[in-house]
Amino acid sequence: MNRINRLFQDKPGNILSIYYTAGYPSRDSTVPVIKALAKAGADMIEIGMPFSDPMADGPVIQSSSNKALKNGMSLKLLFDQLKNIRKEVDIPLLLMGYLNPVLQYGMEKFCSDCAMTGMDGIILPDLPLEEYLGESGSILSDFNHYNNHNHHNHHNHHNNPNLRTLFTLHNLHNIFLISPQTSPGRIAKIDSASKGFVYMVSSSSTTGTKGSFTQEQISYFGRIRDMKLKNPSLIGFGISDHGNFSAACEYASGAIIGSAFVKILSETKDMENDIRKFVEDIRGVA
């Protein structure tokens, strides 16, 4: 069973998922951060694949991505770093990033390397639902024809009708986002194409920390909860402390924290300890 499904089965609420950028703060911190988070009791981790132009991200993740790239981070290095991660960590791990580096790496190679390193899910905010389902004409086949001559053999790619088939083949869940502006019809379509969970963006915004939720956000959370989606949902973007984490947990199975955690990484002198404290603070352990 995919670890994401296992998690939601075993733990119906208060799920804490943490995003951070691979190769940040230093090139070799990718794995130590995962281990420290798992040890501190995070339920799930989203490993950011740094990109030069992260259009859905605010200043904190923009800057961690830049630093990670300067540190020499790449997908090739990331998969190398993650080679043995499943010997030590058993919580669900997802890769999150932008489409272009993945396409240049080669979609199929990316998926098989994800499977090989034991990844459970993928979040690519700029991969639209229609492209994933192959409704806009599959980008997969012609992409490989034009781009991947230098990466690996490119025969047979046209046999893949869409990304969904490919992801499913490797037991990878593609996670879709919804926002307060997403129409009910589209939410239903996203829910039906989703496996694992639905990523509820807390307000239409780029990533970054904000204060407590507005009335408008709360009513959006309630509206989605009442839709009784087939997938569980997690609320992300703008969650930074125990207050809005527990508020989010009242409406969804849990929440995702990114920028607030990346900020901790940028300041820490004692990583393992600070990560433990961060997770405790979020959970409100006295």
Catalytic residues, by residue number, are 46, 57
Q: Classify burial at 63, counting beta carbons within 10 Å of its beta carbon; exposed 0-12, middle 13-18, buried 19 or more.
A: middle
Q: Which CB atom, from 160 or from 182, has the smaller least distance to other proteins? A: 182
Residue closer to other proteins by CB (options 36, 78) is 78
By the 10 Å C-beta count (0-12 exposed, 13-18 middle, 19+ buried), 152 is classed as exposed
**Least Å distance between CB 8 and other proteins?**
21
Paired residues of 93 in beta bridges: 45
Binding mask 119-138 for other proteins (x = CB under 8 A): ------xxxxxxx---xxx-
The distance of closest approach from Cβ of residue 13 to other proteins in the complex, given in angstroms and rounded to an integer, is 24
Q: Which of 2, 147, 165, 168 binds other proteins (CB under 8 A)?
A: 147
CA distance 6 to 283: 21
Q: Which of 174, 172, 218 is nearest to 192 (CA)?
A: 174
If one asks whether residue 55 binds other proteins (CB under 8 A), the answer comes out as: yes
Cα-based angle 195, 201, 206 (whole degrees, multiple of 5): 125
34 binds other proteins (CB under 8 A): no
> Which is nearer to other proteins, 55 or 285 (by Cβ)?
55
Cα(205)–Cα(187) distance, rounded to whole angstroms? Answer: 18
Instruction: Show contacts with other proteins in window 58-97 (CB under 8 A).
Output: 58, 62, 66, 69, 74-76
Query: Is-contact 203 161, C-beta < 8 A?
Result: no
Based on C-alpha coordinates, what's the Rg of the chain?
18
Binding other proteins (rule: CB under 8 A), the pick from 2, 5, 101, 268 is 101
- Is residue 201 part of the contact set for other proteins (CB under 8 A)? yes
Residues 6 or more apart in contact with residue 125 via CB below 8 angstroms = 56, 96, 98, 177
User: Which residues in this chain contact other proteins in the complex, by CB under 8 A?
Assistant: 51-53, 55-58, 62, 66, 69, 74-76, 98-105, 125-131, 135-137, 139, 142-143, 146-147, 150, 176-179, 181-183, 186, 190, 201, 204-206
